Structure 1
Amino acid sequence: MNRYLVMAMRRPGFDPAVVQPHKDFLQGLRAGGRLEMSGGFSDQSGGAYLMLAADMSEALSIAHQDPAHISGGWDITVYEWNAR
């Protein structure tokens, strides 16, 4: 498994009602052993999470299931991260 850093940046006018479903999605990833860490930025501009996936294709597939992405209220960017 490789590590992927997912940046979720809020767009102007994002729907705050999507925050809880996004958190629930992350909890599901954590329960499935796919999420190493996650958190929001102190300036409320968005957040990031570090997940495990076999490759970029799988990482994108997972990230695109995030309610933050589905809602269109966040810009979701995925990076393969060679962190140690």
Structure 2
Amino acid sequence: MAMRKPAFDTSVIAPHKAFLDDLRERGLLHLTGGFADGSGGAYVLRDVADMDAARAIVATDPLAVHGCSDLTVHEWNTR
């Protein structure tokens, strides 16, 4: 989950989308989308070995690299 910080820099949106496109091409992205209120968004990874691997991927997201958003990783159990 990515929640925008008050000083969010919109110039990071294009690199973030490119990051998501790369994940999708590598088969690691299941779905993604922004929140309707503009406060941030979320994406769901797939075929990731474990939480450490997921955190390592998220740490390379331009939103995290540039400190524009607070990113958190949650394990999601689906049925």
Name the TM tier (shorter chain). Answer: over 0.9
Aligned residue type for 1:51: L
Where does residue 41 of structure 1 map in the other structure?
Answer: 35
SS in 1 for 2:72: strand
Equivalent in the alignment of 2:59? 64
The structure whose residues are more often strand, as a share, is 1
What's the offset of the Cα at 1:83? 1.6
1:13 CA displacement: 1.1
Any runs of at least 4 consecutive aligned residues in structure 1 with deviations exceeding 2 A, and if so which? none
The 5-angstrom pairing of residues 16-35 of structure 1 reads: 16-35=10-29
- Which residue identity lines up with residue 49 of structure 2 in the other structure? A
TM-score by length of structure 1 reads 0.90
Match of 2:44 in 1: 50
TM-score where L is the length of structure 2: 0.96
Q: Tell me which residue corresponds to 2:8.
A: 14
* Cα displacement (A) at 1:21: 0.4
Deviation of the 1:62 alpha carbon: 0.2
Paired positions, count: 78
1:3 aligned partner: none
> Identity over aligned residues, as a percent?
53
Q: Give the aligned residue type for 2:68.
A: G
Please list every run of 5 or more consecutive structure 2 residues that lacks an aligned counterpart in the other structure.
none
Q: Structure 1: any 5+ residue segments left out of the alignment? A: 1-6
Given candidates 71, 75, 79, the residue that maps to 1:76 is 71
